[in-house]
A and B are shown apart, each in its own frame.
Chain A
């Protein structure tokens, strides 16, 4: 029963995400109709990039308090947060603070239980497409990877709201944003100064929040990026050393061949 509900919920979420992607992509077919997103310096840039984990953790705060109200992140589990530098117990505590559906209770009503580290981030109703007429926000599991323009564009979008220039009126229900497709977006301006309070005392300006949440989204899209780079350096050192040895051995063995 639970499995069935879960599967249908997943299917709905997939379809929902698809509809939104469809909208975004159709617009993408037209010539670029937004300002180019300026390049930002990111800790994860380049072939040796690493994540600024303090920024990732602050970004989770922004995601948890703001983004997750509307956006799902269905492929990420609470336990995965250990990868941001939290301990397993801290990840467990974060999980326990969320209530997720747990079938039908003995009173015949939908029951809730505290989430565990093995549970996926809950997908809010609007992202499941359960709110009639609402635009369905895209799932954020891989958003930093699949969104055209990547992290630079996400950061630009989050900080790109403002009053429309004279003579421009965004369509009803949409907000003016010069980095959005056709310079209009259904997402209301999500960030503002002091919209969240950072546990580490960092001043929560809009730019800081945007930077942190973008870093978090990049981490979510490629949680093993830093490990991949670290492993790569070790493998390369080993292979180059082995290659030099084999090169010397080959030269030596073939030296008596003429």
Chain B
């Protein structure tokens, strides 16, 4: 059923071998496949699967994320086996991992670099989806699962950052506890539940260790759903027009295995450069001081990947308001398929939306800088303007542009109908 390569006649030596033969339906493979069609499913989904040939490099980021997730799980398991989740032992156990566990420094560097670059790739993946309208029918569920993954990854990353129990870990947990405590009514109860006391301690660390571990495997499961949904609808493409089969598609293997493979190696080079030569980019020296409840660091700052949301949090003068608006920034993403109702998918074909998307990326980056500067001085106005734009983009620009485009399309088709007779 899946399309075979439309132009493979010129080089049979390259593509001819990759056409699976039906001989696999006999023997053990055939016996297994008749009972559990893993072999034919793999063949259909990862060998013959028709992929739009117009995909650009941004469509290789999904493969990068999958591989980093596996790396995070494996390195995380090895780290967890040598980690002590107690306030008294956590810092020393991480020191022992870095100093004495064979290749422990490498495991931990991989896990730290992986966390940073996972979030970086996730943001690229997210903005790619927004730019090319990947959330539109029939991919709404695929999109919602993706945004849920973003939220899960952020919680997991936060929980993981607290585990080494350095100064930033401790005070990060403190800030998170206070943010939860700002919820009216049940806030103080939730804060106590999360911290397990008045301030971060043993119970907090235990909560976050279990949360980190559990969510990591939860993410793997939800990624499975994400990929399953992707294989139902098929990938979108930069043109926004569904690829015609078979002339505009190519089989997954070998065309996209080699393309994703090349993307992965380029990503791995970046990964290795950060891990081996520039670890200062992703590590915070203050977190190599053990947690000290009696001393607040002068500059409590989350990891870079939380800075845009931290910027929103601080741009709003009210504590609870800031919490609502920064959480709302994620919740808005869930609603995107119903805020943007235009049938035109790709921003390439939507000049106004395209400018809006560029402004959204600029606003997001500016929010990060505002967060880094604690919205002091002029950064307060930058942060507030960027927050305002972020919301306007989703709540005003998307519906307005959609209405205009829908009206134009209706007019266009009315003209054609009128011309017909």
Contact = CB atoms under 8 A, between A and B. Distances in A.
Interface of A: 7, 10-11, 14-15, 17-19, 21-22, 25, 28-29, 47-48, 74-77, 79-80, 141-142, 145-146, 221, 223-224, 227-229, 231-233, 235-236, 239-240, 242-243, 246-247, 249-250, 252-258
Contacts of A236: 269, 272-273, 276
B292 A22 contact: yes
B269 A22 contact: no
A238 B236 CA distance: 34
Given A22-B295, A25-B295, A25-B298, A232 B275 contact: yes
B58 interface: no
Please provide the 5 A-B residue pairs with the shortest distance between their CB atoms, ordered closest to farther: A232-B276, A18-B292, A47-B277, A22-B295, A75-B95
Contacts of A224: 98, 105-106
B262 A257 contact: no
B232 interface: no
Nearest to B98: A224
Contacts of B21: none
Contacts, number: 119
Contacts of B259: 250, 254
Given A10-B92, A232-B276, 10 more contacts: A15-B294, A19-B294, A21-B289, A21-B292, A22-B292, A76-B99, A145-B288, A247-B262, A253-B258, A257-B255
Secondary structure dominating the interface of B: helix
Interface in B255-283: 255, 258-259, 261-262, 265-266, 268-269, 272-273, 275-279
9 contacts: A18-B295, A28-B298, A224-B105, A224-B106, A228-B105, A233-B276, A235-B272, A253-B255, A257-B255
A25 to B, nearest CB: 6
Contacts of A47: 277-278
A29 B298 CA distance: 7
A25 B297 contact: yes
A253 B253 CA distance: 10
Interface in B281-313: 285-286, 288-290, 292, 294-295, 297-298
A28 B289 CA distance: 16
Interface in B28-74: 53
A22 B50 CA distance: 61
Interface in B335-369: none
B285 A75 contact: no
A146 B272 contact: no
Nearest to A247: B262
B11 interface: yes
Nearest to A150: B285
B290 A228 contact: no
Nearest to A228: B276
Contacts of A142: 288-289
B80 interface: no
Nearest to B109: A228
A76 B99 CA distance: 8
A77 B88 contact: no
B218 to A, nearest CB: 31
Most interface-central of B91, B100, B259 (chain A CB within 10 A): B100
Contacts of B254: 253
B403 interface: no
Contacts of B7: 256-258
B8 interface: yes
B88 A7 contact: yes
A239 B262 contact: no
Contacts of B275: 232
A221 B279 CA distance: 14
Interface in B59-116: 88, 91-92, 95-96, 98-100, 105-106, 109
B137 to A, nearest CB: 29
Contacts of A22: 292, 294-295
A234 to B, nearest CB: 9
Given A229-B276, A249-B258, A257-B53, A77 B100 contact: yes
Contacts of B265: 239, 242-243, 246
A14 B294 CA distance: 11
A236 B276 CA distance: 9
Contacts of B88: 7, 10-11
Most interface-central of A19, A76, A228, A252 (chain B CB within 10 A): A228
B10 interface: yes
Contacts of B8: 256
A76 B292 CA distance: 20
A244 to B, nearest CB: 9
